[in-house]
C-alpha cells in the first residue's frame, strides 16, 4: 500500500513513440541536432583548429593494445555515412574548404 501512495505511476511503461507523441516532437529532431553538432566538430578537428592531439585521436594513431572481439564503432564511419564519401582523404579534403563542408553538413 505504501508503494502506491509514494510512487503511484512507477508501474506505467510508455514506448518511445508515445513519449515523442506526447511532447509533440519529431522523432529525428534530436538525432539531426546531434548529427549536425558532430559534423561541425569533425570539420573543426579535420581543419586542425583544435590542435594536433584531437586529430590524432580522430585518426586513431594512438598506441594501444589490440582489443579482442567485435571492432568498435568508429566515429569516422558515421561521418562517411552522413557525407556519403567513401574515404578519409575525401572527407579531410572536403573539410579543408569550410564553405563546401558547411554546405554538405547542412544537407544532412
> What pLDDT does residue 28 have?
64
Q: Which segments within 7-55 are labelled E, that is strand?
A: none
Does position 4 have pLDDT exceeding 60, yes or no? no
Q: In this structure, is residue 100 part of a structural domain? A: yes
d(CA 108, CA 104): 7
User: Which cell numbers hold the place of 54?
Assistant: 584531437
Tell me if 95 sits within 8 A of 42, measured CB to CB.
yes
Q: Is residue 94 part of a domain?
A: yes
Do the domain assignments include residue 105?
yes
What is the spatial distance between Cα 105 and Cα 42, in angstroms, rounded to a whole number? 10
Q: Would residue 6 count as lying in a domain?
A: no
- State the Cα–Cα distance between residues 28 and 16, nearest whole angstrom: 12
Q: Is residue 17 part of a domain?
A: no
Residue 14 confidence (pLDDT) above 70: yes
Domain that holds residue 93: 36-60+73-108
Quote the number of domains for the chain.
Answer: 1
Residue 89 within any structural domain of the chain? yes
pLDDT in tens, 18-76: 877 777 666 567 777 888 888 888 888 888 777 777 777 777 766 777 778 887 777 88
| DSSP symbol at 87 | S
* In a domain? residue 41: yes
Amino acid at each position: 500500500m505504501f508503494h502506491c501512495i509514494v510512487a503511484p505511476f512507477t508501474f506505467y511503461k510508455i514506448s518511445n513513440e508515445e513519449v515523442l507523441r506526447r511532447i509533440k516532437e519529431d522523432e529525428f529532431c534530436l538525432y539531426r541536432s546531434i548529427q549536425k553538432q558532430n559534423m561541425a566538430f569533425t570539420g573543426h578537428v579535420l581543419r586542425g583548429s583544435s590542435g594536433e592531439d584531437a586529430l590524432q585521436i580522430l585518426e586513431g594513431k594512438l598506441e594501444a593494445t589490440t582489443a579482442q572481439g567485435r571492432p568498435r564503432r568508429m566515429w569516422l564511419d558515421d561521418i562517411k555515412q552522413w557525407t556519403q564519401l567513401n574515404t578519409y582523404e575525401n572527407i579531410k579534403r572536403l573539410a579543408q574548404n569550410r564553405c563546401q563542408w558547411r554546405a554538405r553538413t547542412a544537407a544532412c
